[in-house]
Amino acid sequence: MPNIKINNADIYYQDSAPDDQQKPVMVFAHGLLWSTRMYDKQIAHFQEDYRCIAFDFRGQGQSQITKSGYDMETLTEDTLELLSTLDIKKCHFVGLSMGGFVAQRIAIKHPELLLSLTLLETSSDPEDPKLAPQYRKLMTAIRWLGMKRVSNKVMPIMFGSTFLGDKSRKAENKEWLLMLQGNRKGGVTKATMGVIERKGTYEQLGDISTPTLIIVGDQDAATPYPKSERMHFAIKGSKLVVIKGAGHTSTVEEPEQVNTAISKFLECCV
């Protein structure tokens, strides 16, 4: 799959149907510490009917680590430039956690680009001042010790107890642990700082007129249900779906529930 030079960064992306101009487009933006891989099950499900485009934010996955540009506003500009370069005029945008921070900014400032908006396990608030010191400590530990040494502490933040405790999914659990450990610490620390220092968007959510679906796992410890409910009440006409048995990464933990929720939502957007 190709890379595109965007805002002085080589951005990796996947495109399920680059030559198909007829299919509606779905764009997937991943969460912190992950990559396009967190949407494998969604792309497999939707690619028959949609042109599915997923990409890695700078410093993560297979995209270039740059010296700067990890704030949410720059990541939003990266995303907009990707859409422009690929000549995407309108799309169904799906953003999880950090990808959701970017998705909200696009919906607020560039609604003309969106057919629908799906926000998973995300928030419209800045980082909780009570949690920020913990994340800064984690970032310092990653910088000095490497991702492998702290990965076992990160996994319960990213996944719910049902997934982590399911013996039948032990191999899958290990696969995601290894992916987490494979993060490049230079990119991860910069990306984490961008998340910690992000500005909130809550006051602007009332401006969103795009059909919106909000999804949250009932075991999400990083952005728990009240965060999603708060966005739901602020975005007029939005839908709110709770995924049972999922934590902060429901696309991986309960892909069938997520795919069903998005499919039903998109049927109403056509």
Where the chain has pLDDT below 70, the residues are: 1, 270
CA gap 187, 184 in Å, rounded: 6
14 neighbors 53 (Cβ within 8 angstroms): yes
**Predicted pLDDT at 1:** 60
Q: Which of 92, 54, 57 is nearest to 77 (CA)?
A: 57
| pTM (two decimals) | 0.96
Residue labelled with tokens 């968007």: 201
138 neighbors 145 (Cβ within 8 angstroms): no
CA gap 74, 81 in Å, rounded: 10
DSSP annotation string for 243-269: ETT--S-HHHHSHHHHHHHHHHHHHHH
CA gap 93, 217 in Å, rounded: 19
Q: Please list the alpha-helical segments (H only) found in 47-113.
A: 72-85, 98-109
Coil/strand/helix, residue 218: coil
**Predicted pLDDT at 135:** 73
Any idea what DSSP says for residue 237? T
* Tens-place pLDDT, residues 47-91: 999 999 999 999 999 999 999 999 999 999 999 999 999 999 999
CATH of domain 3-269: 3.40.50.1820
CA gap 12, 134 in Å, rounded: 30
**Predicted pLDDT at 131:** 72
192 neighbors 32 (Cβ within 8 angstroms): yes
**Predicted pLDDT at 113:** 98
240 neighbors 229 (Cβ within 8 angstroms): yes
Domain boundaries, the chain: 3-269
CA gap 188, 38 in Å, rounded: 16
Backbone angles phi, psi at 196, to 5 degrees: -60, -40
